[in-house]
Amino acid sequence: MSKSSRSKPKEVGSKQLPIYQHKTKLTQAVKDSTFLVVTGETGSGKTTQLPQYLYEAGFCKDGRIGITQPRRVAAITVAQRVAQEMQCTVGREVGYQVRFDDCTSEDTVVKYMTDGCLLREILADPGLSQYSVVILDEVHERSLNTDILLGLLKKIFSDPAKASKRRHFPVKVVVMSATLETDKLSAFLDNCPVFAIPGRTFPVTCTFGTAVGPKDLESTGYVREVVKVALDIHTSERAGDILVFLTGQSEIERACDLLYEKAETIDYQYDVQDQTVDGILILPLYGSMPTDQQRQIFQPPPPGIRKCVVATNIAATSLTINGIKYIVDSGFVKQLNHNSRVGMDVLEVVPISKSEAQQRAGRAGRTSAGKCFRIYTKEFWEKCMPEYTIPEIQRTSLTAVVLTLKCLGVHDVIRFPYLDCPEERFILEALKQLYQFDAIDRSGKVTQLGELMVEFPLHPGLTRALLKAASLGCQDLLLPVAAMLSVENIFIRPGHPEKQKEADKKHKALAAKTGSMNDFATLLSVFQLCKSSDRPSAWCKDNWIHWRALKSAFSVENQLQEILLRLQQKKDFPVETFSGNKSELFRQCLCTGYFTNVARRSVGKVFCTMDGHGSMVHIHPSSSLFDQETELNWVIFHDVLVTSRVYIRTVCPIRYEWVKDLLPKLHEVDVYELSSVAREEVTDEEMIKWEMKEAAKRQPEVSAEDVM
């Protein structure tokens, strides 16, 4: 773009957006009521424009405008875009905050953030006193945190008398959603007004393919197929950009590699029908991509070049890419689901819903008529794809969220105002886990430890282990591990088989350096080795480690340390003593948070989990314990991967003695007992009575084994 047009982009671009014509009415509507639902087609300008309109209308005089996004990449890229439109640097008037990355300052008045961040802010400041407007964006995605925020904001601001007592000026809550369900949202928020931005959309012709049928649920052959279809479009369709939907980073990288390879062989004079097309620009788009690369996605391609973006579901609603005329839909998405077979949350590749497929197709009809190529059959559509996507709250673990609610004083977590109620057993499962980690007591009350745990943006088990280590004065062992498990995968897996072998060898050597086969220790060791290296980026390159991921891990470790230091200054921070060897100490700390993930060797290479599900699991090939012929009988693991088998990943050998006293906790508490406390508002009086009863029960002491 030439220099002279620098101050223009906002004027030209944003005035053409459908939302522009409704600017005055929209700001008035926000002024007029506490709650407002805003809907409009994806790309109409809700996310980037509304906060600017409110800023212009003077909403920032009383506080900030906060906008939540379910995805971190969306929060970051949108903030960058809006900063550019408002001609400021990101982090000044316009900023963003996502987990472990705060890019805001005192000047920040328009703040984009993940829904998880706002949830944490409510913990520290339940009245949200910094804000004049809170906008929940992408509500149709129904992410767990957004759903919880909806309920909380309803609770906090619904009763005007209560709300005004808290504040000298009223907070406005705007809820933005791309698709239908607006009546339901309005009804939920005290029948608030709905502002619909009329959209302009063009017809999209959809065709079904033959590659994926009901029998292909487990296969990943679709990557090749989408590549083939994208190249067919490139050679036989008129000019216009292509958007390909796949499920995740490694798949996307593979598809891009294949596309590069095949695109090289195209003869533009003979193979390509539209003679104005003389090249293809292949761009990946996924969550953990470096930000400078993300920016390229939005730039128009050079003349004659066709842009082909290969993306995750993030391009379905969170980010709008202009110029897309063709869609290639794989029909799959990666989703976090509670897997009852293994009793925990697992990232799985599953068919998308029909409504999701329509949303994907719609991406081709924003500026002119478009085409959508579905690689799956009509039969797959009918038999394998559900009508709607199930909200996350109804399919994932609620442990962290329930702890947050409890810390906010929401004792009755069953009758909390949910837009769609989670199944009661999921709530009970969460309570049970919190009890197992000593975060709540039997009456459902948050313990001292629970109050410490809620401060960490980590999985409760990992936090539990970290706090154990901190109480023993060895947090330096656990902080790096927690950080490494919070960033993207650090081990590079090259596509080329020869290079793969070389990488495997280096990774094995790194694992061997720890002296014990223990994947957690490997993470710690990689962290330390890299940090103490003179040239850390070269060290990473040499060892096939992602330098970018490690840099994030260093920063995350710092932040976790800050939280910990702050908490350790509290007078009731637990302190314990320990004598013994350091490797054992390390593993014993891990056990306090991972005893819920214990497995015991059953036969041969098969392990059996001890959590009551008794699932048969295998050690994943990426683990240093894979194929080890040792006496290894007991292990703990960080997570599981479900393919045709159930694999456990990031594994650590342990001794039975270390979990012996913890394991009974897995079965000791009766969910019905928790069920009653989940439903009742416990009064102080009841509490005292209950405690007296408990004290009486405690004598004589019951040992853990007795309960088992």
- 231 or 319: CB nearest ligand CDP: 319
Which of 45, 70, 116, 653 touches ligand CDP (CB under 6 A)? 45
Does residue 47 bind ligand CDP (CB under 6 A)? yes
Which of 43, 63, 70, 351 touches ligand CDP (CB under 6 A)? 43
Which of 47, 146, 339, 559 touches Mg ion (CB under 5 A)? 47
The closest of 411, 399, 406 to 462, measured between CA atoms, is 399
Which of 29, 37, 38, 46 touches ligand CDP (CB under 6 A)? 46
Q: 38: number of CA atoms within 13 Å, CB side? A: 30
- 180 or 512: CB nearest ligand CDP: 180
Which of 37, 78, 128, 150 touches ligand CDP (CB under 6 A)? 78
Partner in contact with 40, chosen from ligand CDP, Mg ion, none, beta carbon below 5 to 8 Å by kind:
ligand CDP
Instruction: Kindly write down the DSSP assignment for every residue of 421-463, as one continuous string.
Output: PPPHHHHHHHHHHHHHTTSB-TTS-B-HHHHHHTTSSS-HHHH
Does residue 322 bind ligand CDP (CB under 6 A)? yes
Q: How far apart are CA 680 and CA 181, in angstroms?
A: 31
Cα Dmax for the chain: 89
- 312 or 486: CB nearest ligand CDP: 312
- 68 or 471: CB nearest Mg ion: 68
CB 68 to ligand CDP: min, Å: 13
CB 76 to ligand CDP: min, Å: 9
429: tokens are: 């499962």
Binding piece for ligand CDP, criterion CB under 6 A, among 37-45, 93-101, 379-387, 605-613:
37-45
Give, as one character, the DSSP assignment of residue 491.
B
CB 145 to ligand CDP: min, Å: 19
Contacts of 484 (CB under 8 A, 6+ apart): 490, 523, 524, 526, 527, 553
Which of 42, 145, 486, 588 touches ligand CDP (CB under 6 A)? 42
Does residue 298 bind ligand CDP (CB under 6 A)? yes
Does residue 40 bind ligand CDP (CB under 6 A)? yes
In angstroms and rounded to an integer, the radius of gyration of the C-alpha atoms of the chain is 27
556: tokens are: 């995350």
Which of 313, 320, 335, 436 touches ligand CDP (CB under 6 A)? 320
Contacts of 97 (CB under 8 A, 6+ apart): 75, 103, 104, 111, 112, 113, 114, 117
**Interface size with ligand CDP, residues (CB under 6 A):** 17
Does residue 20 bind ligand CDP (CB under 6 A)? no
Q: How far apart are CA 681 and CA 690, in angstroms?
A: 14
- 47 or 463: CB nearest ligand CDP: 47
The closest of 217, 182, 488 to 352, measured between CA atoms, is 217
Per DSSP, the three-state class of 66 is strand
How far from chain centre, in Å, is Cα 421? 21
Does residue 77 bind ligand CDP (CB under 6 A)? yes
CB 298 to ligand CDP: min, Å: 4
- 44 or 313: CB nearest ligand CDP: 44
Cβ burial of 293 (10 Å; 0-12, 13-18, 19+) is exposed
- 298 or 547: CB nearest ligand CDP: 298
Q: Which strand (E) or helix (H) includes residue 68?
A: strand 64-69
Cα separations (Å) of 158 from 128, 154, 188, 189, 191? 14, 5, 10, 8, 11
470: tokens are: 């901190």
Binding piece for ligand CDP, criterion CB under 6 A, among 77-85, 96-104, 143-151, 686-694:
77-85
Does residue 68 bind ligand CDP (CB under 6 A)? no
**Interface size with Mg ion, residues (CB under 5 A):** 2
CB 49 to ligand CDP: min, Å: 6
Which of 27, 34, 39, 48 touches ligand CDP (CB under 6 A)? 48
Contact 392, 400 (CB under 8 A): no
- 48 or 650: CB nearest ligand CDP: 48
Partner in contact with 320, chosen from ligand CDP, Mg ion, none, beta carbon below 5 to 8 Å by kind:
ligand CDP
Question: CB 697: neighbour CB atoms within 10 A?
Answer: 9
- 81 or 507: CB nearest Mg ion: 81
- Interface with ligand CDP (CB under 6 A): 17, 40, 42-49, 77-78, 81, 298, 320-322
- Interface with Mg ion (CB under 5 A): 46-47
